[in-house]
Amino acid sequence: MLFSGPEQPHLCGTKENATMKIRFIFGAAFAAVAITTATPAVAHGGGETVTPRFQQMIPNIPGKSLKALIVDYTPGGASAPHIHAKSAFIFGYVLSGEIESQVNDGPRRVYRAGESFYETPGSRHSISRNASKTRPARLLAVFVVDTDDKELTTPIK
């Protein structure tokens, strides 16, 4: 399964234009992760470490940037509940292990290595954690976001 979620309208005009832009964005993200040198990681204290891997303005979509992050979860580790930037379209791809996720009022889902999902702008992420208490998990998160947005997530209080 490449994507899961409701059908979205095409914001790029034709379906072909949308497909080309999506392929460009995700191709660039995967290439960036493969070739980028290590960037300082940020530990958030809940058993996750977030490492920025790539950031680039998208030349054919004015005002938008592509940002790729690696999220490493320790066994049993979790992200604090959070809201994503109001402009952020997010593609998540599980690189290893299993990630349990719940977005907005949707069902809890477990995504395994090789599976992917997407989230729409302003999504509320109440659960994002390693589904295993014994093995680590790793997630690639690719954001298409307004270039001026500095914070990709805001904790829910």
Q: How many residues does the chain have?
A: 157
Quickly state the pLDDT bin for 26 (edges 50, 70, 90): low
Q: Are strands 124-130 and 116-119 parallel, antiparallel or unpaired?
A: unpaired
DSSP string of 37-84, one letter each residue: PP---EE-SSSEEEEEEEEEE-TTSTTEEEEEEEEEE-TT-BPPPEEE
Q: Can you give the pLDDT at residue 28? A: 53
pLDDT for 45 equals: 52
Q: What is the pLDDT of residue 138?
A: 98
Residue-level pLDDT at 32: 46
Q: How far is Cα 31 from Cα 67, in angstroms, rounded to an integer?
A: 12
Tell me how far apart the alpha carbons of residues 149 and 117 are, in angstroms, rounded to a whole number.
Answer: 22
CA angle at residue 88 from 86 to 89, to 5 degrees? Answer: 130
Residue 157 token pair:
């209080």
Q: Which CATH architecture has domain 15-155?
A: Sandwich (2.60)
* pLDDT tens-digit readout, 100-137: 999 998 999 999 999 999 999 988 988 999 999 999 99
| Separation of alpha carbons 120 and 83, rounded Å | 11
For the chain, which residues make up each domain, given as ranges? 15-155
The pLDDT of residue 131 = 96
Per-residue pLDDT of 29-82, as tens digits, reads 554 444 344 444 444 457 899 999 999 999 999 999 999 999 999 999 999 998
Burial 115-152 (b: 16+ CB within 10 A, else e): bbbbbeeebebbebbbbbeeeebbbbbbbbbebebeeb
Q: How far is it, in rounded angstroms, from Cα 115 to Cα 3?
A: 8
pLDDT for res 155: 82
